[in-house]
Amino acid sequence: MDRREVIKLLALGSALPALPPDAFALFVGLHQSLASTPRLKILNAHQDATVTAMAELILPQTDTPGAKTARVNEFIDLIVADWYSEDERSFFLSGLANLDARSQSLFSKNFVDTSATQQSDILRALGDEMAEESTALRTAPRGDRGTDPEPDGNFYFIFRSLALTGYFTSEIGFRQQLHEETIPGHFDGCVPLATLAPGKYS
């Protein structure tokens, strides 16, 4: 699977069941390749803290682990470092910087230094802008649309897709949130009928 195909598939993060099996296996393998001790490849400490805070807001810990526990920040760091082109990497890092600029303008603090409510307000505004851009593209006259957009035109869209893909292809996200097995489990061929759902096999 080539790099460009992988990047496009990451845009399916909000529709994970649509991922082909080889892509899903690739992303699971990337999680498994993460070092046992966290080690960043491209993000600095501040950028990593920003990515971690954003991802946790999108996928917070509730009765199941959130994005931080699933190491989504490290998954994103790996994708940006090893799979993005120079332009894509620059766009992503600029998006993080612009997030801080927006936060400074609103609250005179970097994103990670604002309150959880303020952070949520910023992400909600980014989500609204993303939706407006999508609506404008869909409703524009045919001659104004040009070609279909690449999945790298909106920073929040990129980030959200990365976070969702990173979470649901992690061991934690896949098993505890989707209640599935990363690889098929053992087959219980001799389970007593009494333990099965009543009437299911009668």
Token pair listed for 65: 């682990």
Tell me how long the chain is. 202
The predicted structure's pLDDT at residue 150: 44
Structural domain count of the chain = 1
Whether residue 196 is contained in a domain is answered as no
Structural domain of 88: 3-181
Q: What's the Cα-to-Cα distance from 9 to each of 32, 49, 171, 196, rounded to whole Å?
A: 19, 25, 19, 38
Closest by Cα among 164, 184, 186, 168 to 176? 168
Whether residue 192 is contained in a domain is answered as no
Instruction: Evaluate if residue 176 carries a pLDDT over 70.
Output: no
User: For the residues 69-79, what does the mean pLDDT come to?
Assistant: 94
Mean pLDDT (the chain, rounded): 78
The predicted structure's pLDDT at residue 95: 96
Whether residue 57 is contained in a domain is answered as yes
Amino acid of residue 174: F
Percentage of residues of the chain with pLDDT beyond 70: 68
The predicted structure's pLDDT at residue 63: 83
| Tens of pLDDT, residues 17-45 | 566 777 778 888 888 888 887 789 999 99
Whether residue 136 is contained in a domain is answered as yes
The predicted structure's pLDDT at residue 93: 97
Whether residue 189 is contained in a domain is answered as no
User: For the residues 67-96, what does the mean pLDDT come to?
Assistant: 94
Residues whose CB is less than 8 angstroms from the CB of residue 152 and which lie 6 or more positions away in sequence, other chains included: 7, 88, 91, 158
Greater model confidence, 61 or 51: 51
Residues whose CB is less than 8 angstroms from the CB of residue 13 and which lie 6 or more positions away in sequence, other chains included: 160, 161, 162, 163, 164, 165, 166, 168
Whether residue 16 is contained in a domain is answered as yes
Mean pLDDT lowest for which of 1-5, 75-79, 148-152? 148-152
Greater model confidence, 49 or 8: 49
Whether residue 195 is contained in a domain is answered as no
Whether residue 107 is contained in a domain is answered as yes
The answer to whether 55 touches 67, Cβ cutoff 8 Å, is: yes
| Tens of pLDDT, residues 89-128 | 999 999 999 999 999 999 999 999 999 999 999 999 998 9
